[in-house]
Structure 1
Amino acid sequence: MSNYLKPAGKAIFKDSYTTKMNELLVEPDGSKSQYGIIGAPLSKPSISHSGAAFAPGAIRQAMGSYSTFSKEISHDFQGETMIDFGDVDMNPTDILDSQDRIYQATKSVLGQEEAEQLIVLGGDHSVSFPSIKAHHEKYGTIGVIQFDAHHDLRNLDDGGPTNGTPFRRSIENGVLKGEHIVQIGIRDFTNAKGYDDYAEQQDVTVYTMEDVMTNKINEIIQQALQKLENKVDLIYLSVDMDVLDQAFAPGCPAIGPGGMDSYSLMKAVETAAKHYKVQAMDIVEIDPTIDFRNMTSRVAAHVIFSYWKGKVLGK
């Protein structure tokens, strides 16, 4: 057989000096790693049409476009690994069962303690509730720093457990306290007054895009960390990619103008990850079927890298 023939999908250029980020993903084998990922490919609870179920694979693929070397911090991640626990098998017709499967799978992975910190790849934002619930049961009191254009505090009577309800469900089910939620990037003309009122009633801390634009993002993150650090056992980052302006995230189902730029989001995650209590993250709301040149998934990949960078800098 010709030496030029390679297994399907493997006939790609390989630079002997370069390792790609997706090469750090390894299957679980009982050994331990600082990081793990789990895919939660659920998008049927989305209020608007969404193909976010395809995002975990798209983000993994996007990781393969980047090297393991960070020039900014002079650190090569080449020798590190991230355990890829795979994707949760969804129920094709039952949303509540699918969300419970995410909870059960996340709980199982956390219980194995193979990975010290877990990154959940959505899926729509409804996956945050079961993931945070599993972290709450494992670690205790959870604080959340939520990057989002929306409050995601919708009532459950009108539509059930949709991608607009994860933090309302968390509060109503005793998984989170409102005072332990910090929302960053909430956008104008994107939320109903009733949910702004609810956020205020529950003592949710809200930073609008006006706040983000008039203050340094690093200062906002420091304020959020200071608010949470002495009140919670673990801080969880929830990154809804529609916090970004539509120019940076064309693959989000709920695109809109006036959002954050990608560099600011990456730096915000990096800054937050330096804190020792930041130990988990989810990335949600990417629809690869409407994305342009995989732009949004590529930003999501960089959000993962930014989390890693922060952990290196925080040591």
Structure 2
Amino acid sequence: MKQLPYLQKANTPFRDRDVTKVADIIHDWNGDKINGVGLIGAPLSKSSISHSGACFAPGTIRKALAGYSTYSIEEKVDLAEIVVQELGDIMMHVTNISESQNRVYETLSQLLVKNPDWLPIVLGGDNSITYPSIKGFAQAKGKVGVIQFDAHHDVRNLEDGGPSNGTPFRSLLESKTIEGEHLVQIGIRDFSNSKPYYDYVNKNSVTVYTMKDVRRMSMMQIIQESLKKLKDQVDSVYVSVDMDVVDQAQAPGCPAIGPGGMDAQDLLDAVAFLGEHSVVEGLEIVEIDPTVDFRDMTSRLAAHVILQFLKGKFKKRLI
């Protein structure tokens, strides 16, 4: 049969020869040395205190990320020059939460010890993955500092509910994986935490910036203070972004949405600035539930968090 010039494979997207999409620079890892940036999913949400479909978020974040252009018109840089490897998803145990969390730890620990120079971007999953992720990160990086964007302290006791999405920083502090003075919490929200947990982080010398502090100070001032505090005390800094730090109007797809949260642009500016510093060597995004999101707004914001972080790295030629 004569070839039909307008017939193409089903579901083929429109292609503009003059546009490079992020999907074009993401390549499957071949199992050998990891170069540049590595995306890895940790699709766990059974450990969530409330109902959560966060296990679906790695997929929606990837889909959102792939559709954007690689070009930053604001900084006149093109991410098309960097290498991004897709490592896949860590397989979760069907029923055993602790086993699932341990798989996150073992996978990241082994990948980072064998390949210490790649930049991990971890796609959660609920916030319970933060403990094993940072524990694995610390195996390769030494003394770790954490900048946490979150509405909550996440230092709930482990007796009432076990290792849930409300306990990761309690576990990190109790296990001495990180020291309290090496943890900075930004965006802690009114009426979202209890006094005993505020007392706990104070007792452990955690630096806390509430949303009132965020409104009163500039985000750049907060980030500069945080980096200045950490950079001479730790070997590496890990950035943890719980998307519920953003106001519910701009991030509706979180299990714990609430008013009075951070403006999305403040978060993007902060992450871009953090990306410019060599001591910042890891990023995670957690607590997106695509089943309650609207038009993937929250996953799209997460994609921009990743792009802004990579823009900062590429701008300073750190990747």
- Scaled to the shorter chain, the TM-score interval is over 0.9
Alpha-carbon deviation of 1:77? 1.2
1:50 aligns with one of 52, 55, 66: 52
Alpha-carbon deviation of 1:4? 4.4
Please give the residue correspondences for 1:1-315 in structure 2 after superposition, counting only pairs within 5 Å.
2-9=4-11, 11-29=12-30, 30-113=32-115, 116-315=118-317
Alpha-carbon deviation of 1:201? 0.2
Specify whether residues 176 and 5 from structure 1 end up closer, same or farther in structure 2 by C-alpha distance, changes over 3 A only: farther
- Separation in 1, partners of 2:23, 2:116: 19
Task: Say which SS state the counterpart of residue 106 (structure 2) adopts.
Answer: helix
Per-residue Cα deviation, 1:187-218 (whole angstroms, up to 9, x for no partner) = 00000100000000000000000000111101
- Separation in 2, partners of 1:5, 1:172: 61
Per-residue Cα deviation, 1:130-157 (whole angstroms, up to 9, x for no partner) = 1100111111110000000000011100
**RMSD after superposition:** 1.3
One-letter amino acid of the structure 2 residue matched with residue 228 of structure 1: L
Whether contact under 8 Å (1:83, 1:115) holds in the other structure is no
Task: Say which SS state the counterpart of residue 78 (structure 1) adopts.
Answer: helix
Specify whether residues 6 and 110 from structure 1 end up closer, same or farther in structure 2 by C-alpha distance, changes over 3 A only: farther
Task: Say which SS state the counterpart of residue 301 (structure 1) adopts.
Answer: helix
One-letter amino acid of the structure 2 residue matched with residue 52 of structure 1: A
One-letter amino acid of the structure 2 residue matched with residue 19 of structure 1: T
Task: Say which SS state the counterpart of residue 260 (structure 1) adopts.
Answer: coil
Whether contact under 8 Å (2:144, 2:234) holds in the other structure is yes
Q: TM-score, normalising length from structure 2?
A: 0.95
One-letter amino acid of the structure 1 residue matched with residue 192 of structure 2: T
Specify whether residues 2 and 129 from structure 1 end up closer, same or farther in structure 2 by C-alpha distance, changes over 3 A only: farther
Whether contact under 8 Å (1:36, 1:115) holds in the other structure is no
- Separation in 1, partners of 2:94, 2:117: 29
**Same amino acid, percent of matched pairs:** 52
Alpha-carbon deviation of 1:65? 2.6
Unaligned ranges ≥5, structure 1: none
Specify whether residues 117 and 169 from structure 1 end up closer, same or farther in structure 2 by C-alpha distance, changes over 3 A only: same
- Separation in 1, partners of 2:34, 2:91: 24
- Separation in 2, partners of 1:280, 1:206: 21
Unaligned ranges ≥5, structure 2: none
Alpha-carbon deviation of 1:162? 0.3
- Separation in 2, partners of 1:285, 1:310: 24
- Separation in 2, partners of 1:2, 1:106: 48
- Separation in 1, partners of 2:109, 2:84: 18
Per-residue Cα deviation, 1:219-254 (whole angstroms, up to 9, x for no partner) = 100000011101111000000000000001000010
Alpha-carbon deviation of 1:314? 3.2
The number of residue pairs the alignment matches comes to: 314
Q: TM-score, normalising length from structure 1?
A: 0.97
One-letter amino acid of the structure 2 residue matched with residue 23 of structure 1: D
- Separation in 1, partners of 2:55, 2:34: 28
- Separation in 1, partners of 2:236, 2:206: 17
- Separation in 2, partners of 1:115, 1:25: 18
> Structure 1 segments of 4 or more deviating over 6 A?
none
